Amino acid sequence: MQPHLLSIATTAPPIVIGRDDVAALALDVFGAEAERMAAIFANSGIDRRRSCVPLDWYTRPHFWAERSRLFVEHGLDLACRAASLCLGRAGLPNDAVDAVVAVTTSGVCTPSLDALVIDRLGLRRDVARLPIFGLGCAGGILGLARAAALAKAMPGARVLVVVVELCGLTFRPNDPSKSNIVATALFGDGAAAALLSTEGDGPALTAWGEHTWPDTLDVMGWRVEDDGLGVLFSRDIPALIRAHYRSALDGWLDRVGIPFGSIDGFLCHPGGAKVVAALEQSLDLAPGTLEDERAILREWGNMSAATLLFVIERAVHRPLPRRCLATALGPGFTAGFLVLDN
């Protein structure tokens, strides 16, 4: 019995920040370092993104206690809004949920986000919980994969996935490193939810898996600093994709018995404009093929794990081609794969 995607929903905070606003902020905070990297903002492929805090918040130093409080306050609101939208689209009440998988990498709380969602939404007391932290941009795809495995192991159960990333809350104005300035150009805030079950209609999740490359722990991630999480981008990620992604994908497809030629469409995490272009090259797609990915990046920015669910939501309303491969890359350095059959 294969799990199906019964419904999906996305949401984001109300504050809209434009590209010029972000570039001006970076120049004001980082001075000459940002000026030398001005092309990153111009070429980011991002016109706007959402933020849970106003623009002037980013100009002042903040520490763990405040960041954590804001993450719980705004993250829980967004998670519950996305979950309610998702359940509403499936035509199901809150007490229909049997398990909650909660994904984030931009904030820490204990009790974890899944417990907070259960309490806020008044879900049943016997709901199974699976909090997932640390997968970064791969969290959306691998969160769906873990939920699919859970749904398959619990036939008929309805598994709710909530993904919340408030990347803006990790901004550190005292860090003029290239990685932090790149993150400033790319990251936005957003949340998403998806509902899976072996019973019901919707695209079937027929295969999922991942590949973690050796000696790549320093490609991306966080450094835990006194005042928050310091972003780490230490290598040329588009070059890594061009050199190594396709062989990893082909190896996984071979193991699960799915020919590359049987895939009718691709749903990719748009980590940045250069990442999207590198994925098109690796997948032998014509330049511009990944138009949905570029549109999500342009309208919402890189919301880490939540971004791919924005891409999937946009695609399912088309509807999806017969067979799609969804994919994302995150800290590890890891690629996640998921096949959707419509």
- Tokens 């969602």 locate to 117
Q: How is residue 132 annotated by DSSP?
A: E
Helix (H, G, I), strand (E, B) or coil at 224: strand
DSSP-derived secondary structure for 153-185: HSTT--EEEEEEEEGGGG--TT---HHHHHHHH
268 is catalytic: no
Helix (H, G, I), strand (E, B) or coil at 298: helix
Catalytic residue, chosen from 137, 167, 268, 324, is 137
Residue 292: Cβ within 10 Å count:
20
Report whether 17 contacts 48 (CB < 8 A).
yes
Q: Which of 159, 140, 176, 158 is nearest to 328 (CA)?
A: 140
Report whether 298 contacts 291 (CB < 8 A).
no
Residue type (1 letter), 309 = L
DSSP-derived secondary structure for 1-40: ---EEEEEEEE--SEEEEHHHHHHHHHHHHTHHHHHTHHH
Report whether 245 contacts 266 (CB < 8 A).
no
Cis ω on the peptide bond leading into residue 63 (within 30° of 0)? no
Q: Which of 340, 338, 313 is nearest to 8 (CA)?
A: 313
Please give the positions annotated as active site.
137
